[in-house]
Every structure is written in C-alpha cells, then in structure tokens.
Amino acid sequence: MQTLISALLAATPTPSPSVDPANTFYSPGTIGFIATFGMAAGAVFLIFDLVRRVRRVRYRAEIQAKLDAEAAGSGTESNK
C-alpha cells in the first residue's frame, strides 16, 4: 500500500509555466471586426425591410377596408 502511495506521489507532475496573459493577443482583429459589422449591418437592413413591408401591407388593408365600406355604402343607396 505504501509503495502505491509513494508511486502516486512520485508521479505527481510539476506544474508547467503558465501563459502570461499580458503577452497573449485576445483581439479578433480586422477580419473579426468586419464580420461582426457585416452581420450587424445585415440585421439592421432586414429589420428596416421588414418594417417597410409590414407598413405596406397594413396600408393596403386600410385602403381595402375603406373601399369595401364605400362599396357597401353605395350599394345600399342605389337599391333605394
């Protein structure tokens, strides 16, 4: 049993030198900036496009409702 414990204690590795965080480069660089900017610009474009399309559909529905109301109103008057 003691030989096993002494073998385990002898096999304990010594810690390797740690990496100095001050010398490590953590920036994604120009390519990362361009990729992030492109994704953000694409998202903004899609949001504006979606808002424009929803607004157009809503206006068409409002105009169609007005035309239907006018047609229903003129249809009852012509029958009199």
Which residue has tokens 């953590």? 26
> Looking at residue 9, what is its pLDDT?
73
Q: Answer yes or no: is 26 within a domain.
A: no
pLDDT at 26 over 70: yes
Rounded to the nearest 10 degrees, how much is the dihedral formed by the CA atoms of 23, 29, 32, 36?
110
**pLDDT digits 0-9 by tens, 54-80:** 999 999 999 999 999 999 988 665 544
Q: How far is CA 4 from the centre of its chain?
A: 55
Q: Answer yes or no: is 80 within a domain.
A: yes
Q: Answer yes or no: is 48 within a domain.
A: yes
pTM above 0.75, yes or no: no
> Looking at residue 34, what is its pLDDT?
97
Q: Answer yes or no: is 65 within a domain.
A: yes
Q: How far is CA 9 from the centre of its chain?
A: 51
Q: Answer yes or no: is 33 within a domain.
A: no
Per cent of the chain over pLDDT 70 is: 72
What's the total number of domains in the chain?
1
Q: Domain residues for 79? A: 41-80
The model's confidence at residue 6, banded by pLDDT at 50, 70 and 90, is confident
